């Protein structure tokens, strides 16, 4: 992992050095000037360029505006939830006014110890009611069958059934949580968010943005940050037996600060986010004598096939007195590239075109790191 990160920083630093040598006024080696400009124009047609101003900050804030605090059960169909009994579950059964049919509670024994365990064949046996199928049934269904059986010997039997041992169904929480483990599925609905909370929450090293959710042979990515930050209740799941919730490490959550700064490299994005001002500060700030304060750019990859553009490019006019406030309010995303140019703005388009391939480099190296 460390080697991959060093490789990425080295390759992007080389790209930065190359960019500084070609501007202003030079051209790409081996390419004629006319062809060079044509390629630049083609690339820039696929780039969405925006100025970081108060209007953009307002749009950014609106897009992540919080709704009401979500309940862990919101959006899930829990009103019809009923626990399904399975092999290993333990029941207590009592019949009112018939103490001879009720196992008395012992001082040193638990209700689970004295209860009726669902056997390997899925049945339980009670007085006057042998081999009642319980596995795959709800408590109410077992109750109805018991009433039917006991009605043959008892007039209008009043029966009370409770599950005192939930042993048949489990969900798993693994990865970067404080207490990973196995969590029983019970008569109380267990959601993905509930399970994460019961596991003690995420660790400092956790990727707070997404978790992977596996059911059977299907795995999906749950956008955890959308649930907590934006109230997107569609990201929650009602857990079933065998479900796995895995929290990945946060190693890949970073941005890259390059160009005319005092210390180029990567900056980690923590669970509370990272703004442009923080990223520049963590890189030592701009080189005062050579950097163009109006040439602070943020490159953010887009999907060319679905969006029709290669990247969003945001420009900060840092010479403006309001620039610091804007930089503090502009939230970066993982894999963003922050580039500070020393070139006159008339040549900035060449800088952007040089940096576009580096966005793909970031993703490819992160994919390799994740696979390892």
Q: pLDDT tens digits, residue range 353-362?
A: 666 666 666 5
In a domain, 17, yes or no: yes
Residue 82 lies in a domain: no
pLDDT given at position 44:
63
Write down the mean pLDDT value for the chain.
80
**What is the rounded CA–CA span in Å between residue 23 and residue 177?**
48
Q: Which range has the top average pLDDT, 33-47, 94-108, 145-159, 353-367?
A: 145-159
- What CATH number is given to the structural domain containing 326? 3.10.560.10
CA distances (Å), origin 76, targets 6, 12, 81, 219, 237: 44, 45, 10, 19, 7
Total of domains in the chain: 3
**Quick one: pLDDT at residue 292?**
85
Question: Which of these three, 165, 180, 215, is where a domain ends?
Answer: 165
- Verify that 21 and 121 share a domain, yes or no: no
34 and 145 within one domain: no
In a domain? residue 70: no
Q: How many residues does the chain have?
A: 372
Q: Say how far apart CA 296 and CA 275 lie, in whole Å.
A: 13
Last residue of a domain, one of 165, 189, 214: 165
Residues 282, 236, single domain; the answer is: no
**Same structural domain, 233 and 268:** no
Domain co-membership, 269 together with 366: yes
Say what the pLDDT of residue 251 is.
78
Residue 223 lies in a domain: yes
CB atoms within 10 A of CB 212: 16
* Mean predicted confidence (pLDDT) in 51-62: 87
Categorize the per-residue pLDDT at 18 as very low, low, confident or very high, splitting at 50, 70 and 90: very low
Give the domain-ending residue among 165, 195, 216. Answer: 165
Judgement on whether residues 182 and 215 belong to the same structural domain of the protein: yes
- In angstroms, rounded to a whole number, what is the distance separating the alpha carbons of residues 80 and 189? 10
Both structure tokens of 55? 């209007």
Q: What is the pLDDT of residue 152?
A: 92
75 in a structural domain: no
Six-digit token string for 162: 């409770």
Alpha carbon of 265 to those of 9, 201, 311, 369: distances in Å? 6, 30, 21, 17
Instruction: Tell me, yes or no, whether 74 lies in a domain.
Output: no
- Whether 300 and 351 map to the same domain: the answer is yes
- In a shared domain, residues 147 and 227: no
In a domain, 185, yes or no: yes
Q: Residue 259: which domain range?
A: 2-65+251-371
Q: Do both 292 and 238 map to the same domain? A: no
The CATH number covering residue 148 comes to: 3.30.1950.10
- Shared-domain flag, residues 281 and 342: yes
- The answer to the question of residue 158 being in a domain is yes
Strands (DSSP E) contained in the chain are 47-51, 90-95, 116-117, 123-126, 129-133, 159-165, 170-175, 181-184, 210-215, 218-223, 244-247, 254-259, 265-268, 296-301, 311-316, 337-340
Does the pLDDT value for residue 144 go beyond 80?
yes
User: Could you read off the pLDDT of 211-235 as tens digits, one per residue?
Assistant: 999 999 999 999 998 888 778 888 8
Same domain, 261 and 294: yes
144 and 160 belong to one structural domain: yes
Region 304-327: mean pLDDT is: 86
SS3 category, 188: coil
């Amino acid at each position: 992992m460390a080697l991959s990160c060093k490789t990425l920083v080295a390759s992007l630093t080389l790209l930065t050095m190359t960019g500084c040598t070609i501007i202003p006024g030079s051209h790409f080696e081996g390419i004629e000037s006319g062809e060079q400009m044509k390629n630049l124009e083609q690339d820039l047609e696929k780039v969405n360029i925006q100025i970081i101003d108060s209007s953009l900050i307002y749009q950014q804030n609106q897009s992540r505006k919080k709704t009401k605090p979500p309940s862990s059960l919101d959006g899930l169909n829990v009103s019809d939830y009923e626990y399904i009994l399975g092999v290993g579950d333990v029941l207590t059964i009592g019949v009112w006014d018939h103490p001879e049919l009720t196992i008395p509670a012992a001082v040193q024994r638990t209700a689970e110890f004295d209860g009726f365990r669902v056997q390997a064949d899925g049945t339980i046996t009670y007085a006057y009611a042998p081999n009642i199928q319980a596995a795959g049934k709800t408590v109410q269904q077992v109750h109805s069958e018991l009433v039917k059986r006991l009605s043959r010997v008892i007039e209008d039997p009043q029966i009370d059934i409770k599950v005192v041992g939930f042993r048949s169904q489990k969900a798993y929480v693994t990865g970067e949580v404080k207490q990973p483990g196995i969590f029983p599925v019970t008569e109380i609905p267990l959601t993905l968010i509930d399970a994460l909370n019961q596991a003690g929450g995420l660790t400092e090293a956790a990727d707070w943005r997404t978790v992977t959710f596996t059911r059977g042979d299907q795995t999906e990515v749950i956008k955890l940050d959308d649930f907590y930050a934006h109230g997107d209740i569609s990201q929650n799941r009602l857990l079933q037996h065998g479900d796995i919730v895995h929290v990945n490490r946060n190693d890949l959550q970073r941005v890259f600060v390059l160009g005319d700064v005092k210390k180029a490299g990567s900056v980690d994005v923590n669970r509370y986010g990272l703004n442009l001002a923080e990223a520049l500060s963590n890189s030592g700030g701009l080189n005062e004598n050579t950097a163009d304060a109006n040439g602070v750019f943020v490159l953010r990859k887009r999907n060319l096939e679905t969006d029709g553009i290669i990247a969003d490019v945001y420009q900060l006019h840092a010479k403006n007195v309001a620039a610091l406030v804007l930089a503090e309010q502009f939230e970066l995303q993982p894999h963003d590239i922050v580039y500070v140019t020393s070139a006159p703005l008339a040549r900035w388009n060449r800088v952007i075109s040089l940096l576009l391939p580096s966005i793909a480099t970031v993703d490819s190296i992160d994919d390799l790191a994740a696979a390892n």
